[in-house]
Amino acid sequence: MKIIMLGAPGAGKGTQAKQIAEKYKIPHISTGDIFRANIKNGTELGKKAKTFMDQGLLVPDELVVDLVVDRVRQEDCTNGYVLDGFPRTIPQAEALDAALEAIGEKIDYAINVEVPDENIVRRMSGRRACVACGATYHLVHIPPKAEGICDKCGKELILRDDDKPETVEKRLNVYHEQTQPLINYYTDKKVLVEVDGTVDMADVFAAIVKILGE
């Protein structure tokens, strides 16, 4: 079962990807994890990626695809995997499909966690993070016991720059411009499925399980 997770930043796709991986006993793969593992292990691909990252440059699509394909060919991916945060663009999706086809594989499902922009802005602007220990809260869903104070260490909670409405809107614009076209791409490939990401997280997961099967 080879799955790609799609959805805007803050849609909750990472949370769902982890639960899918746990239920179906398949690895949850994010490009960030792949980069870190390859750099840490000093692999050839890792060294190449590091040269770009050290210069503050984006790792080229070709190299990212090589890293992803190298990861999905490992033994723990025999029964499938969940790709989270990749592909982000049509060229990446095409390169991934071509690389998978070359090893006799293909994506089975592209799951789009659908959440309207205004919900995401509201959801993310409710997040709070502890300046000291990094614990995260949400004013509505996981509020701290005392307003503005971390339950764990008693330090101040802040709204991170990443979660400020103006930053979230910018990220959403980039998403719609670059990643939204993937929804059409995977629809044409007849592998796209959509779930309502505005409902409770447990209900989102239940909808995904209904699609993937027990």
- Which residues are known catalytic residues? 13, 88, 127, 160, 171
Which region holds residue 134: left if phi is over 0, alpha if psi is between -120 and 50, else beta? left
- How many other CB atoms are found less than 10 A from the CB of residue 180? 14
**Cα distance between residue 107 and residue 22, in whole Å:** 19
DSSP-derived secondary structure for 90-130: HHHHHHHHHHHHHTT----EEEEEE--HHHHHHHHHTEEEE
Per-residue b or e along 20-59, where b marks 16 or more CB atoms closer than 10 Å to that residue's CB: bbeebebbbbbbeebbeebbeeeeebbebbeeeeeeeeeb
40, 84, 33, 31: which is closest to 58 by C-alpha? Answer: 31
The DSSP output letter for 59 is P
